[in-house]
A and B are shown apart, each in its own frame.
Chain A
Amino acid sequence: MFTKRNTITYAIAFLLILALNFLLPRMMPGDPLMAIYGNEALIAMTPELKAHLVERFALDQPLWQQFGAYLLALVQGDLGHSYYYNSPVSSVVLGRLPWTLLLVGTALIISTLLGIVLGIESGWRRGSRRDKSLLVSLMTVSGFPDFFLGILLLIGFGVTWGIFPLSGAITPYSGLSGAALVLDVLHHLFLPLTALTLCHIGASYLLTRNTMVTVLKNPYILMAKAKGLPDWTIRYQHAGRNALLPVITRTGIQLGRMVTGAIFVEIVFAYPGLGYLTYEALLARDYPILQGVLLIVAFSVLIANFLVDLSYSKLDPRIRYAH
């Protein structure tokens, strides 16, 4: 039941995004070819190319047949052609994807782990000085817009002190390999990673802390204390472990916010992932890339959410019975 309902939800979301992606350029005033292919294409446009494109997108057909042609191309993995990069959109996007995965994946793991540990420490003695200072500082940090946090780090560590590189993911034309290459990548990764991690600790921290508050009221905590178990055993093995479930499942939901957060952080550091690609496409009015990236990101977020929803009902039997 739960799965079926979910599947319908995601199917609707899927269709909404597809329809938007399809309709937007075709609803724009002026030549749809221009809106579909961007400025760059018009420069390269010849009558033959134009005829070819019109035929491929069925632009002389009624709207529903155009939608059919659009879907058919998508199913075949054809996201269109970028005249700015002069290569298929899918290959441009795939080339940038690893950087975003590296950035977002690492940030997700670090921020979740840190958030859990800090949340457990904070919730254990709620109202103590340590709890209050943690709460205030983390709330403050997560209140910062991600790009501004990135800018502060960039100005501090990059511009002023020059400890970290200002932009990019590797030193260009350095010909590094092996350990030196890994170090170089980490060196470039550090600042964007810190910005993204700092922005997202708050969520898992608050959730862990609030769950700890509820968990600590359970009789088994009192029992553990009565048994004379050491503090940290109760804190981590009894309370912390039980406070973990909602956090772990929320981590997947975080993924979506993280990817969009990464868009802004990548732009600040000119980090060559999907976010920076989006920005370049916006500047160049390269609509095929823009559409392709946003379609892929939206779909990945949808799929991640779907998997989380599925695992959520598996992990917590109460959810399954509730539906």
Chain B
Amino acid sequence: MHINFKQEVRHSKFAMFGIVMLLLLLIIAIFGPLLTPYQPNTQTPFAFEPPSFNHWLGTNHVGQDILSQLIYGARTSLLVGFSAAFLAIILSAIIGTSAALAGGLYDKIVMRIVDAFIVIPAIIVIILVAAYLKPNLLVLILLLALLGWQDGARTIRAQALSLKELGHISAARSFGAGNLYLIFRHILPDLVPILLMGFIYGVRRAIFMEAGLAFLGIADPTTVSWGMMMHEALDFCYLNVWRWWLIPPGVALSLTILSVTGIGHTLEGALDPRLRSEANA
């Protein structure tokens, strides 16, 4: 599994678009407070103002600056997406590799649980839990990670199982290498492409779900997020405020998900030899 990522990505316009977009978003998210003079949560008496020099995207129903909300929304989206996906892929890696290497009863039990998690519709469980817990950002990230590791664990286990049979692994084992050593020294490095892909799709999933929950109005109301902006703006869609209130967060969210998809699709093409020639097209 040795793939030249740089080359694959450079040859795909879709992936280049994704990476450039994500970097741009990252910069906006990091330097957000420098880009806007307003706090996204400060309510002012100046509600429903159309775009002007002071408020590029106008203000919402409680007089908050929409552009600042959009910028801070990028922070929420990326923070939740990346950290939930990161935690989830770590969980997948631990569970997948340990099941593959330990085998036996442990493997059997773990895989039944993995399968059960795969068939459970995650978003429904998350809606239910979120309705009760009213999660803040940290709880939300943990929740998304806890319900997002199963697919990765299955792929990683399958890959680790085939890696396990390779010559250099049995050679290392015959020299007395333990399971942990094998995992960190030989298995994990070869799993990097799969981990990366699981991570990318995890990011997309988490961003999507965070936005969905906020759109349903069950995320933390003090955290500014694109989903929440759309939730609030939808109530006023009969006014023409949707042009600067409803569309921008939707476009931002779609572009973010699209750029993550672009990167993921290219990686997937690179990993699947049948589609390989196409990834270079």
Which stretch from A4-12, A183-191, A218-226 is at the chain B interface? A4-12
Q: Which residues 118-156 of A have a CB within 8 angstroms of B?
A: 126-127, 136, 139-140, 143-145, 147-148, 151-152, 154-155
Closest A residue, CB atoms, query B261:
A143
Q: Choose from A166, A256, A287 the contact partner of B121 (Cβ within 8 Å).
A: A256
Which stretch from A19-27, A65-73, A227-235 is at the chain B interface? A19-27
Q: Choose from A28, A267, A298 the contact partner of B132 (Cβ within 8 Å).
A: A28
A136 vs B278: C-alpha distance when bound (angstroms): 13
CB proximity of B97 to chain A, nearest CB, Å: 21
CB proximity of B30 to chain A, nearest CB, Å: 24
A 240-263 binary contact with B (CB < 8 Å = 1; else 0): 000000000000000010011001
- B contact patch SS: helix
The answer to whether A297 has its CB under 8 Å from any CB of chain B is: yes
Residues in A with CB closer than 8 Å to B127 are: 263, 278, 282, 294
CB proximity of B145 to chain A, nearest CB, Å: 17
The answer to whether A90 has its CB under 8 Å from any CB of chain B is: no
Among A24, A140, A155, A256, residue most surrounded by chain B Cβ atoms (within 10 Å) = A155
Which stretch from B48-56, B175-183, B252-260 is at the chain A interface? B252-260
The answer to whether A290 has its CB under 8 Å from any CB of chain B is: yes
A159–B258 CB distance below 8 A: no
CB proximity of A215 to chain B, nearest CB, Å: 11
Among A154, A260, A291, residue most surrounded by chain B Cβ atoms (within 10 Å) = A260
The answer to whether A194 has its CB under 8 Å from any CB of chain B is: no
The answer to whether B274 has its CB under 8 Å from any CB of chain A is: yes
Closest A residue, CB atoms, query B217:
A282
Residues in A with CB closer than 8 Å to B116 are: 9-10, 12-13, 16
B281–A12 CB distance below 8 A: no
Residues in B with CB closer than 8 Å to A152 are: 250
Residues in B with CB closer than 8 Å to A283 are: 217
Closest B residue, CB atoms, query A279:
B216
CB proximity of A104 to chain B, nearest CB, Å: 13
- A contact patch SS: helix
A263 vs B126: C-alpha distance when bound (angstroms): 13
Q: A12-B113, A126-B278, A302-B120 are in contact. Are A20 and B128 (CB under 8 A)?
A: yes
CB proximity of B148 to chain A, nearest CB, Å: 14
Q: A8-B112, A16-B116, A145-B212 are in contact. Are A301 and B121 (CB under 8 A)?
A: yes
Q: Which residues 1-43 of A have a CB within 8 angstroms of B?
A: 5, 8-10, 12-13, 16-17, 20-21, 24-25, 28, 35
The answer to whether B265 has its CB under 8 Å from any CB of chain A is: yes
A256 vs B112: C-alpha distance when bound (angstroms): 20
A127–B278 CB distance below 8 A: yes
B119–A267 CB distance below 8 A: no
A267 vs B124: C-alpha distance when bound (angstroms): 15
Number of B residues contacting the other chain (C-beta, 8 Å)? 42
Which stretch from B66-74, B87-95, B230-238 is at the chain A interface? B230-238
Closest B residue, CB atoms, query A13:
B116
A13–B119 CB distance below 8 A: yes
A298–B218 CB distance below 8 A: no
Residues in A with CB closer than 8 Å to B129 are: 20, 24
Q: Choose from B120, B211, B237 the contact partner of A17 (Cβ within 8 Å).
A: B120
B275–A139 CB distance below 8 A: no
The answer to whether A213 has its CB under 8 Å from any CB of chain B is: yes
Q: A260-B123, A301-B121 are in contact. Are A139 and B261 (CB under 8 A)?
A: yes
A259–B121 CB distance below 8 A: yes
Closest A residue, CB atoms, query B130:
A282
A144 vs B249: C-alpha distance when bound (angstroms): 12
The answer to whether B244 has its CB under 8 Å from any CB of chain A is: no
B132–A25 CB distance below 8 A: yes
A279 vs B215: C-alpha distance when bound (angstroms): 10
A307 vs B116: C-alpha distance when bound (angstroms): 15
Residues in A with CB closer than 8 Å to B119 are: 9-10, 13, 301-302, 305-306
A291–B128 CB distance below 8 A: yes
B258–A143 CB distance below 8 A: yes
Q: Choose from A139, A144, A148 the contact partner of B230 (Cβ within 8 Å).
A: A148
Residues in A with CB closer than 8 Å to B242 are: 155, 159
The 5 closest A-B pairs by CB, nearest first: A12-B116, A148-B250, A13-B116, A9-B115, A143-B258
> B residues within 8 Å of A by Cβ?
14, 112-113, 115-117, 119-121, 123-125, 127-129, 131-132, 208, 211-212, 215-218, 230, 234, 237-238, 242, 246-247, 250, 253-254, 257-258, 261, 265, 274-275, 278, 281
Question: Could you list 19 further interchain pairs (A-B, Cβ under 8 angstroms) beyond the known A12-B116, A127-B278, A298-B124?
Answer: A5-B112, A9-B115, A10-B116, A13-B115, A13-B119, A16-B116, A24-B132, A35-B132, A126-B278, A136-B14, A139-B265, A140-B258, A148-B230, A151-B230, A151-B234, A159-B238, A263-B123, A291-B128, A302-B119
> A residues within 8 Å of B by Cβ?
5, 8-10, 12-13, 16-17, 20-21, 24-25, 28, 35, 126-127, 136, 139-140, 143-145, 147-148, 151-152, 154-155, 159, 166, 210, 213-214, 256, 259-260, 263-264, 267-268, 278-279, 282-283, 287, 290-291, 294, 297-298, 301-302, 305-306
